[in-house]
Each structure stands twice: as structure tokens, then as C-alpha cells.
Amino acid sequence: MTVAKIIDVTRSFLTGKIETQALRGINLEIQQGEFTALVGPSGSGKTTLLQLIGCLDQPTSGSVIINGTDVSKLSRSQRADIRRGTIGYVFQFFALIPTLNAYENIEMPLLLTGVNASERHERVITLLESVGLSHREKNRPDQMSGGEQQRVAIARALATKPSMILADEPTANLDSKNGEAIMELMTRLNQETGVTFVFATHDQRVIKFSKRIVTLQDGLIVSDQP
Ligand code: ADP
Ligand code: MG
């Protein structure tokens, strides 16, 4: 099953009078269950492409089809609905809510999507266990290591049972041991739950774990290798 289909997509940004063509004609299909890295030098368009797949942005031209729906034609709020139901996001700087503990951070997307209290509790407990952080339930982000914070962020991204997790430079702020552990965790979650992972990265550790490598250069895909 195709979870994301990108057809002839361009994305330009206008800064004053200067136009930057971040993406110059992208065609890409992502199938359910993939574990794929978008790689390429800084400025090649990785984040821009990930944000389009994640319904956080819209293309200048072309189409973005997510689970069969053309999201490039939808309003902002319709896109937000699609995003909440199907996509989990993991960021370079973890982006946890600093005043909430690990349990509450993972629970947040479930509160926002109206999941009932007993179901919320069960899912959060299960997720804490599956990312190996049951003992950190009550800790706030500043009481956890970078690796632990990223594991909370991954559990939070999985909470709404998305079909796809998009991770932008997920290991960039982790040392080599924690970076490797995060990749092992995401590999296991991919195998156990079949959730699709797409990374934007230039980290060799991420590339090593990925099953498909899509290389971008100057806003174009220059290679796509299994
Ligand atoms: P990468 O993630 O591969 O480093 P990006 O997708 O962030 O690349 O950026 C691709 C190009 O688009 C760069 O030249 C960047 O400066 C430009 N760009 C990205 N986002 C914006 C924006 N919001 N406004 C203006 N230019 C942008
Ligand atoms: Mg980037």
C-alpha cells in the first residue's frame, strides 16, 4: 500500500525579491512499512520534502497524496486533520513540553484527539514500556538525557497509531551510543508494528540502518537505492 505519493512537486520560497527553489520537480512513492532515509548536503531540500509529506507545508506546484488523499488541495485545517490521524513527527531538538513529565508528554496527542481516559492510560503505559522508559514516567525533559528525551518523543509520535513517522535529523543532538540506540529502537518498532519511517538526515548512523536511501541534491532526487 502506498502511504505517500509525491508527483512533480516544486516548492519555492520568496525572501524579499530573492526566490529559492528548494524543490525543483520531485517524484517519490513511499510504501507502508518502509524504513527510508532522505539524505543529501545541507540545503538540498530534505526538510522541505519531509514537511510536505507531513502535511506541514504545501507545494508551489504538483501533488502530495497521503493515504489516497490529495492534501495539496486541502485547507490548513483539513490538512491538520489528516496529519493528526496518520502522521507522527520526531524532531532534532526533541520538542517535548518542558513542564510536562514523560507520561504527560506521551499522553498529550491522545488528549488532543479525544481518546478516553482508560484507553489513554493503557496506551501511554504500553508505549513507555516499549521505548524502555517505564522508570522515567514522572521525569520532566530536563531530568532526562538526550537519548531518553528522544525516546519519549518517539513514543509520543506513536501514540495516535499513525501509519507514518517522519523524523528530521533525529540523531543530530545525540552522542554515538545514544544515536545508535535510537536507530535500534526505531528499527524494532518498524518491524513490530509495521509503521513506516522516513528520515531526513546526513548522519551515517541513520543511513547505515535505513533500507532505502533517497539522495537529494539542489532540490532534485539524484539517486534512490535499496
Ligand atoms: P535541508 O533540510 O536539506 O538542509 P532545506 O529543505 O531546509 O534543506 O532547505 C532547502 C533550501 O530552501 C535551502 O536553500 C533553504 O535556505 C531554503 N529554505 C527552506 N525553508 C525556507 C524558508 N522558510 N524560507 C526561505 N528559504 C527556505
Ligand atoms: Mg534540514
Question: In the sheet that 18-31 helps form, which strands lie side by side, from edge to edge?
Answer: 18-31, 2-15, 61-66, 69-70
At residue 162, the pLDDT reads 94
How many domains does one find in the chain?
1
pTM confidence score: 0.94
| Ligand 1: residue whose CA is nearest its atom 5 | 45
- Using 70 as the pLDDT threshold, list the residues of the chain that sit under it: none
Q: Which atom of ligand 1 is nearest to the CA of 45?
A: 6
Distance from residue 126's CA to the centre of ligand 1 (Å) = 37
| pLDDT score of 89 | 94
- DSSP letters, 60-109, are SEEEEEETTEEGGGS-HHHHHHHHHHHEEEE-TT----TTS-HHHHHHHH
- Give 117: exposed, middle or buried? Use CB within 10 Å, 0-12, 13-18, 19+: exposed
Residues that place a CB less than 5 A from ion ligand 2 = 46-47
- CATH number of domain containing 143: 3.40.50.300
Q: Which numbered ligand comes closest to the C-alpha of 18?
A: 1
Domain coverage including residue 127 = 2-225
**By alpha-carbon position, which residue is closest to atom 22 of ligand 1?**
13
